[in-house]
């Protein structure tokens, strides 16, 4: 919410739910799902039914349309109710989406299929991968842009959290615009480094970005910046990767020690220039911002990646750094849009 000068005065978070479209208690599908589930390790199987089955259901055209339709209806209902509660003299409101896991795929698909996607827009950056012809042939042209319920909401920021959007685009063989300019002013793909469900988006936009580490979400509780143990872990990983190269590729011991030093000291001017160009291309289509952002692990969590991977996918919304990051980016978007 913004005042007459365009400054944000309040940020409110309103939930939009779609899970009940599939998992309504007593529904025939839910009863059948419960009937076929083995009784062993019930907690793990409940998680499997709630997560993996959702992805499988969403892959089916019938459920995919029903889920999108339910989300759009809930968004419209929530927005209308909220605006009505403000009264006739309500201040301007800007809307952003924070989408977690499969929810990020659902919202992305809804926004990607808006009607104005085919009318008078400047193309965004396109995917550089050449996909298998069979994968491309399975996507009907209409499905790519304008199929499905419409969401008549202008989006200021889109936060993809623990998101498999990049994986879905890869599996679909999608070579359409990854971030068309009609979707939103800024997009942020935020993930825990050990989240097994999350994938990076930037390498789909530019192959060169696979060598560029994601931006770190600042350690707001520690005054900003990158935590010392996270920096140390990055240095150790650079040397470990080079040691692996010695065992698997040509180049010998010399390469093992020179490669990480070149990475750390930026000795290769051509490589740095190429990476800088790719980074600037990303920022040019995203309001001057990087897209991929990585949350910093705590000291205890960084000790064992495999242990933290079990719970990392569901630990975003109680993370103080993530909350501060969302607030900062929303306020930045509001202020820059009125400048």
Of 26-35, 65-74, 123-132, 199-208, where does mean pLDDT reach its minimum?
Answer: 123-132
Residues 6+ apart with CB under 8 A from 254: none
The string of pLDDT tens digits covering residues 217-268 is 998 876 655 554 445 455 445 545 555 455 556 555 555 455 555 555 544 6
Residues 6+ apart with CB under 8 A from 287: 185, 186, 333, 336
Contact between 313 and 196 under an 8 Å Cβ cutoff? The reply is yes
Mean pLDDT, rounded, of the chain: 76
Q: Residue 310: pLDDT band by 50, 70, 90 thresholds?
A: confident
Q: Which two tokens stand for residue 284?
A: 């040019």
DSSP assigned state of 329: H
Q: Which two tokens stand for residue 98?
A: 């924070």
Per-residue pLDDT, 336? 57
Of 80-94, 260-274, 305-319, where does mean pLDDT reach its minimum?
Answer: 260-274
Q: Which has the higher per-residue pLDDT, 300 or 297?
A: 297
Residue ranges in the chain assigned as alpha helix (H): 28-36, 42-59, 61-86, 102-112, 133-137, 141-145, 165-172, 202-205, 228-248, 252-265, 269-284, 305-309, 320-337
Q: Residue 189: pLDDT band by 50, 70, 90 thresholds?
A: very high
Per-residue pLDDT, 139? 46
Question: ∠94-178-123 over CA atoms, to 5°?
Answer: 80
Residue 158 phi, psi dihedral angles, 5° rounding: -125, 115
Longest dimension (CA), the chain: 72
Q: Can you give the residue ranges of every domain in the chain?
A: 13-88, 94-337
Any idea of the CA torsion for 185, 101, 291, 146, to the nearest 10 degrees?
-50
User: Which single residue is written with the structure tokens 């010695």?
Assistant: 246
With residue 216 as reference, give the H or E element that holds it: strand 215-216
Average pLDDT over residues 40-56: 83
Q: Which two tokens stand for residue 339?
A: 């400048």
């Amino acid at each position: 919410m913004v005042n007459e000068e365009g400054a944000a005065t309040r940020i409110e978070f309103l939930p939009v739910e779609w899970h009940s479209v599939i998992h309504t208690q007593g529904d025939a599908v839910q009863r059948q799902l419960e009937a076929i589930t083995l009784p062993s390790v019930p907690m793990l199987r409940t998680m499997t039914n709630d997560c993996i089955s959702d992805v499988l259901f969403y892959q089916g055209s019938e459920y995919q349309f029903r889920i999108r339709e339910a989300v759009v209806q809930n968004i419209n209902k929530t927005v209308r109710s909220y605006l009505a509660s403000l009264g006739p003299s309500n201040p301007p409101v800007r809307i952003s989406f924070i989408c977690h896991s499969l929810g990020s795929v659902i919202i992305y698909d809804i926004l990607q299929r808006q009607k104005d996607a085919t009318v008078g827009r400047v193309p965004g950056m396109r995917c550089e991968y050449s996909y298998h012809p069979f994968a491309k042939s399975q996507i009907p042209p209409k499905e790519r842009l304008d199929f499905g319920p419409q969401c008549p909401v202008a989006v200021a920021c889109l936060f993809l959290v623990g998101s498999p959007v990049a994986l879905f685009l890869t599996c679909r063989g999608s070579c359409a615009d990854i971030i068309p300019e009609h979707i939103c002013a800024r997009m942020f793909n935020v993930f825990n480094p050990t989240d097994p469900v999350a994938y990076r988006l930037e390498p789909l936009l530019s192959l060169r970005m696979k060598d560029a580490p994601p931006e770190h979400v600042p350690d707001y509780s520690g005054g900003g910046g990158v935590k010392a143990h996270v920096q140390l872990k990055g240095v150790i990983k650079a040397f470990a990767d080079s040691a692996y190269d010695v065992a698997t590729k040509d180049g010998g011991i010399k390469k093992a020690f020179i490669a990480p030093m070149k990475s750390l000291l930026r000795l290769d001017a051509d490589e740095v220039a190429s990476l800088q160009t790719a980074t600037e291309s990303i920022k040019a289509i995203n309001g001057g911002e990087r897209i991929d952002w990585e949350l910093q692990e705590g000291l205890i969590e960084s000790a064992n990646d495999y242990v933290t991977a079990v719970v990392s996918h569901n630990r975003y919304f109680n993370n103080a750094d993530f909350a501060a990051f969302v607030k900062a980016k929303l306020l930045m978007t509001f202020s820059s849009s009125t400048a």
